[in-house]
Amino acid sequence: MVFDVLLSSLKKFFFSGYLGYTSGFSLLCMVFFLIVVIYKKFHIACPLLLENDAINMTLNHTLTHLTTHAPLHSVELNETIDDEMCKPKYFVYNSQTVYAVPILTFSFVCHPAVLPIYQELKGRSRRRMMNVSNVSFFAMFIMYLLAALFGYLTFYGRVEPELLHTYSKVPGAGVIFVIVRLAVLMAVTLTVPIVIFPIRSSIIQLLCSGKDFAWWRHVLITLVILIFTNFLVIFVPTIRDIFGFIGASAAAMLVFILPSAFYLKLVTKESSRSVQKIGVSLLLCC
C-alpha cells in the first residue's frame, strides 16, 4: 500500500522510459504463476483431499472402527462420487454462469494503459501499435486459457473464484505457493501506478480543469482512489463479485458500447448497409 502510494503520487509518469522493463517483469511473474499451475496439475491427485476433507475422513474412519459392521454400500457410494468428481464437464449451467461474460470482458480491458504504451513505442505508428495490441491480446488469451483449464482440471467442481485460495487449502502445498503469491503481488503492485495515472488525470480534468497544479490535491485524489480500492478488497466477499460488476458495467462500455458508437459516429464514408456498420450496429444493440 505504501509503495503504491509513493509510486502513484509522482507528478510525472514514473515508468516513462522503463515501462517495457516493469511490464516485462510483471509478465514474468504471471508466467511463473502459470507454470506452477500446470506443474501442480500432474502432482495433485484426484479426488482432491482438502484440509476439511482430511478432518472429516479422520472422523469417519474413527466412527467406522467404533462400529462392528461397516456398511459396504457406503464405500461403493463414496467411490462413485469420487469418480463423478474427477470427470470434467464441458458445459456447466448454474447460478455462477452469469459471471462468465463480465469476467471475460473485464480480463481484456487494457484501455488505460494504451496511451502510456504508445508513448513508449519506438517509431510510433498506427500499424506498429496494432501489432503490439494483437500480440498482447493473443498472449493474454493463451495465459488465461491455460490457467483456467489446468486450474479446473486440478480441482474440478471444487475450484473457487480465487484460484490461489484453492491451492492454499491443499495439505502440504509447500513454500512454492508462498513464492507464487509474492510474484502475483509484485505483478499487481507494478501495475497499480499505471492504472492510477490515467484515472487521476481524468478526475482532475473533470473536477479541477483550469486550476494550477497542487500537491495536496494530487496526493489526496491518489489516496482516495487507493483507499476506496482497499475497502472494496476488504469488504467484498470474493474478487469474482468485483470483476463481475465492473465487467458488466464499465468494461462493457469500454469494450463493446463506446467503440461501436464512436465508429458509427465518426466513420461516415461507409454505407449504412455495409457489413462493417451492420455488424457494429448489432454489437451496439446487443
Q: Would you list the domain boundaries of the chain?
A: 2-46+86-248
Residue with cell 512454492: 176
Write out pLDDT tens, residues 132-175: 889 988 998 999 999 989 988 888 878 887 888 888 877 776 78
> If phi over 0 gives left and psi between -120 and 50 gives alpha, with beta otherwise, what is residue 170?
beta
Write out pLDDT tens, residues 236-253: 877 788 888 888 888 888
Q: Among 26-35, 147-156, 184-193, 225-234, which is the least confidently predicted range?
A: 184-193
Q: Among 20-24, 35-39, 205-209, 219-223, which is the least confidently predicted range?
A: 20-24
Q: Among 21-25, 26-30, 40-44, 199-203, which is the least confidently predicted range?
A: 21-25
Are 36 and 170 within 8 A, CB to CB? no
Are 147 and 229 within 8 A, CB to CB? no
Q: Residue 236 phi/psi, 5° resolution? A: -80, 130
66 vs 171, more confident? 171
Number of helical (H) and strand (E) elements in the chain, helices listed first: 14, 0
DSSP state of 213: P
80 vs 184, more confident? 184
Write out pLDDT tens, residues 111-128: 777 877 787 778 888 888
Please give the pLDDT value at position 26.
82
Please give the pLDDT value at position 17.
55
Please give the pLDDT value at position 97.
77
Q: State yes or no: pLDDT of 51 exceeds 60.
A: no
pLDDT bucket at 214, cuts 50 / 70 / 90: confident
Q: Among 9-13, 164-168, 263-267, which is the least confidently predicted range?
A: 9-13
203 vs 193, more confident? 203
Q: State yes or no: pLDDT of 226 exceeds 90.
A: no
Q: State yes or no: pLDDT of 266 exceeds 80.
A: yes
Please give the pLDDT value at position 35.
92
pTM attached to this predicted model: 0.74
User: Comparing C-alpha atoms, which of 141, 85, 111, 98 is closest to residue 240?
Assistant: 98
E strand or H helix at 154: helix 126-155
Q: State yes or no: pLDDT of 58 exceeds 60.
A: no
Please give the pLDDT value at position 12.
60
